Structure 1
Amino acid sequence: RWLFDIPPEKIDVVIHPESIIHSMVEFVDGQVVSQMGVPDMCGPIAYALSYPERLEAVMPRMDLAKIGCLNFRPVNRAAFPCLDLAFEALKGPEDAPCVLNGANEVAVQAFLDGRIGFTQIPQIIRRTVETAAGRGLSDLDDVLAADRRARDTAAILLDKAASNGLSTSTETQNEARNV
């Protein structure tokens, strides 16, 4: 939505176990162009940051013969509920994707630290977006503020989850809104 002005309805996601293809674009004639590289996002990120220039030797060379086959399968959305949250954020308030990203980073770290279960990650993200999103973005300071608001809100929700279990109580959401 932000980089390429593509509506969410025109974005699709597939599971690609080899993690070689980082993006694909289908053109009006049905042809598909992909960006492939070793399974490390440093290359695509370096290109995005240096566009239209390309940085030399950012990534090791890819050996397609060694990789062999490329596989794809549809996403089981019940097994990956955060994907639907991401699409909802794209359709939501301007700051919702930024808030979702900050909440995701906090929730995943809480899971890695053993503070919450894996299935609680989408709950924390959803409640953070519901509570903290809804503002416009006009510059980098707004983006950074949305990220900070998301992280602070997610932290409050995690603290409440630790003491009471995850709650959708008005009191918890009101406390988080005051961040």
Structure 2
Amino acid sequence: MSDDGNKARRPEPPRRLNAPKALGVTLGRLTRPVLKKRGAALADILARWPEMTGPLLAAETQPERLIYAAGAGADATLEVAVSPAFALELQHLAPLVIERINGWFGYRAVAGLRLKQMPIRRAESPAAPSRTARPLTPEQRARLDAMLAGIEDRALRQALETLGRSLLGDSRR
């Protein structure tokens, strides 16, 4: 018998059932049941709203709650507070917002939006750094007076003098 005949009769080695797999392949299957729970989805939407929608929508909108049909673990209606001036714009952008949210989760977590017009509570922004005006030097004062010499209107002259003092006395220059 030749070696070629023996090779043909040998059975294939069994496939490994515990072979390593890419994490991305199994991660969705493992996390989907956890993410479908109501509290986890809403918490994720609240925490990631600016990332999901972008800065413009996040400034004018705020997610409020998820409303599920009886017994449904997905396909919720997201109630969104929206500033009255932006409500019509959000109505037109609703399909895009839904698509972005569902893309974030990897399944159809939100089926529709319910808009609620109301003032939006915005996080306090850090205060802008204040400018401190330093006193003008005699040369700067003389230069400012020379620039304002031809102006006869008292209100205009006062406004320009205030502007000139603030520009020339800006400590950041």
TM-score clears 0.5 = no
Q: What is the TM-score with the length of structure 1 in the denominator?
A: 0.23
Which structure would you say has the larger Rg? 2
